A and B are shown apart, each in its own frame.
Chain A
Amino acid sequence: MSDLLIKLSVASLFIPLLGFIVVLFLGKRLKKLFLFEVVLLGVNTLISIYIVIIKLAYFPAEKFVSEFTWINFASFSKYVPAVQFDLGVMLDNVTVIMLFVVNLISFLVHLFSIEYMHGDKRYSRYFAYLGLFTFSMLGIVLTHNLLMIYIFWELVGVSSYLLIGFWFEKWSAANASKKAMLMNRVGDTGLLLGILILFTNYGTFTFDKIFEQIAAGNLPFGSYAWLTAAGILIFMGAVGKSAQFPLHLWLPDAMEGPTPVSALIHAATMVAAGVYLVARVFVMLTADALLFIAVIGAITSFIAATIAFTQNDIKKVLAYSTVSQLGYMIMALGVGAYAYAFFHLVTHAFFKACMFLGSGSVIHAMHHEQDIRQMGGLRKKLPITYWTFLIATLAISGVPFTSGFLSKDGILLATLAFGNLTGHWLIPIIAYSVAGMTAFYMFRLVYLVFWGEPRNQHKYDHAHESPAVMTIPLIVLSALSVFWWYSLNPIDPSNGVFLEKVKTPNSIVPDVQRFQFMINDKAEKIGEYITHSELYMETLHHFHYTALLMSLVLAGLGIFFATYIYIMNKVNPDEIAEKIKPVYLFSLNKWYLDEFVQKVFVNSALKFSKALAWFDLNIVDGIVNGSAFVLRNISAIGGWIDKYIVDGLVNFVADMTSIFGRLFTQIQTGKVQNYVLYAIFSVVILFTIIKLF
């Protein structure tokens, strides 16, 4: 059975690639070929559903691995060790769930795009790119080694570049895709360094083999510092890909791409790749690395939430909320709540994709108007969009009975326990305040878009509900944002079906480098998954209800304030903005981070490249021109030599020949008598010779 699952998952990996190639080359000629791509994705989704069900139901505690050796060099000198690259597929619970999530959301986005991108002049190519992206994402998810993750990581970056810059005639879109690629590369450098540290020390890229060696006590370069460094460097890849501070600047700009692309890439899947990566290497992260990760996650979520308060573009609000939620997930990983982090990843994928597609529906209805100040009262005109969007917003705000509540609550609980046990109280404080802020600005968005009076009457009149192709994905995704699928208990997911299958793995880092609370003395082993120490479990129980209450309170506060300001119009938001103008501007301008990066990094890079260009133009070209000048002169001298000396010699020889010739023609006097004399002379010579010999 495992064999079949592995084969199916590999097939599921390559099917979108097939779609990409076919649609890319034949799409221009066969206009309906995009349907082929959509069908392929549908097939993929069915395959992944099948795999998920089989795996989780029948083989919940096993890991299926299939690998083959790609490159195998023997060591040919004592300084060059043997090199062996294995490539392979690993099916884990986490893997199959991600497989399902990626395939489903990709398929729904394909459906949505049929109508949304209709009439675009590069319609088929869009679907080809979507196929490429899905292939790359599945590659990241399915692989069992760091090398393949890196390869597909870059592929995902490329697909994201192509898709963000899909409307590249617009300068802002081209710039945004360039920015995304460059910031990703900065993160990827860290990732590569981390991978190299591990490879240099352990000689392999495969996760399991690396973890085995670390568990055996074999530290990279023999020190804990290097282990921490490797962990943090790999995390840098996640910082780039999952838009953590300070590399988060690309994600809001990436909203220049088509909205379904934003849904697929920047809400649900690609940005989740970073979280997935950290989850994969979770077991080798030391306490210092984990703390670093948690802090970065907290900072990110806070900054993004404050910016989302003041944004006026639907997609930008959603983008910043994505950054904030990603910060949540990273923070959760940092505090050790692996299972909740992954849970939040899955639920966030669904409700964020639902919200992005919903905003796409709104934008489509408003004829590509994205400023929420022009919208209002759309709930009467776009009912399905409104209701699905509302459900998703409830999920993100952490309202009970939604999936988002379950995951968010778990994270907040974990942060509380962490703060209590390690004394880092700032992290739970930030986490809870961000929860409140999230509720506030999400409901602000809902009220401004769907409630109130329409601010642009003309556009309002023309708005109509989107066709079924666009609303069906919305319905499906919002349905998946309900608690029921993940746990039968709407409040406590710990015994739910999801958390039963996804458990926090045991860390392999030597105990001295781990958080005290995580080390367990008496634990029950379930396969490889060990629950946390007793102290930790106790703390969790202790704070359970506290955390629950606090999250409910904060969510309620956020929603209340939003309603207060925007629905009941008790307070005018513009007046508040005037009163706290500097703060408002700081938030509106994204903390001026873009300008900071531009001034510090970009300008200096441009100056450096200008200097290099000057060097190239003046010095290198000068050398080239100088050598050309020298060469010309040398050839002139050569020409002079050739003309006077060589030709002189030739002429001299010719003259000598003619002189000698003329000398000898004097023999030819024309007088026969002379010729007779010569003949006689020759005869004399002849006879003398004959006589002598």
Chain B
Amino acid sequence: MNLYSLAFYFLAFITIASAVVVVFSRNLVYAAYSLMFTLLSISGLYVLLTADFIAIVQIMVYVGGILILLLFGIMLTQEQTRVKVKVNYLYIGITMLVIGLLGAVLYNYIPFVTNDFSNINYKNIPNAVVPGTSTIKQIGSSLLNQYVLIFEVLGMLLLIVLVAATTIGRKEK
């Protein structure tokens, strides 16, 4: 029982609990806030995985960007009239069933082999992430050396998305 495990279980619990709230909450805003908690705890999981840069990027982009967007969206598309729609239990039941089956399938694919990861010789692995060190330097250099193409493409993609989003969201005359 070390801190690592404790932290992990705590964060995992929060993640899953928030996700459950996101899925099954009736209130839209409650769901949005739960999503925020999920994303934050996922970021904590990243830290446990010594992916420090990713953790920071997750908070910045997801929580600070996408979640805000979703909140704006919720705000702008409020439904005035609350139409009582009948709940289709059959549909929900079947969905649960199928989802459950998928879960079982996925569970089967988890390799329950415990590897002893405590003594890995990081010198033998190129580009290895050594715990305790920062990854930002490595990410930066590989982005501009090995993965420069995808880096550029992503840049272009963001530009296009920018233009497209504004075009789509424009008010038609």
List chain A positions with a Cβ less than 8 A from chain B. 677, 680-681, 683-684, 687-688, 691
Contact = CB atoms under 8 A, between A and B. Distances in A.
B95 A688 contact: no
B102 A688 contact: no
Interface residues of B, number: 9
A680 B105 contact: no
A684 B98 contact: yes
B135 to A, nearest CB: 33
A680 B98 contact: yes
20 contacts: A677-B94, A677-B95, A677-B98, A680-B98, A680-B99, A680-B102, A681-B98, A681-B101, A683-B102, A683-B105, A684-B98, A684-B101, A684-B102, A684-B105, A687-B105, A687-B109, A688-B101, A688-B105, A691-B105, A691-B108
A680 B101 CA distance: 10
A691 B109 CA distance: 9
A675 to B, nearest CB: 13
Given A680-B98, A688-B101, 16 more contacts: A677-B94, A677-B95, A677-B98, A680-B99, A680-B102, A681-B98, A681-B101, A683-B102, A683-B105, A684-B98, A684-B101, A684-B105, A687-B105, A687-B109, A688-B105, A691-B105
Nearest to B102: A684
Nearest to B105: A687
Nearest to A685: B101
Contacts of B99: 680
B115 to A, nearest CB: 23
A684 B95 CA distance: 12
A681 B94 CA distance: 10
Contacts of B94: 677
Interface of B: 94-95, 98-99, 101-102, 105, 108-109
A681 B102 CA distance: 8
A687 B105 CA distance: 7
Q: SS class of chain B's interface: helix, strand, loop or mixed?
A: helix
A489 B105 CA distance: 147
B164 to A, nearest CB: 20
Contacts of A683: 102, 105
A112 B99 CA distance: 126
A688 B105 CA distance: 7
Contacts of B109: 687
Contacts of A691: 105, 108
A684 B109 CA distance: 12
In the A-B complex, list the 10 residue pairs whose CB atoms are closest, starting with the nearest. Answer: A687-B105, A684-B101, A681-B98, A684-B102, A684-B105, A680-B98, A680-B102, A677-B95, A691-B108, A677-B98
Contacts of A687: 105, 109
Contacts of A677: 94-95, 98
A396 B136 CA distance: 159
A688 B109 CA distance: 11
A514 B3 CA distance: 160
A686 to B, nearest CB: 9
A267 to B, nearest CB: 121
Nearest to A681: B98
Nearest to B103: A684
Nearest to B98: A681
A612 B102 CA distance: 95
A677 B97 CA distance: 11
Contacts of B101: 681, 684, 688
Contacts of A680: 98-99, 102
Nearest to A686: B105
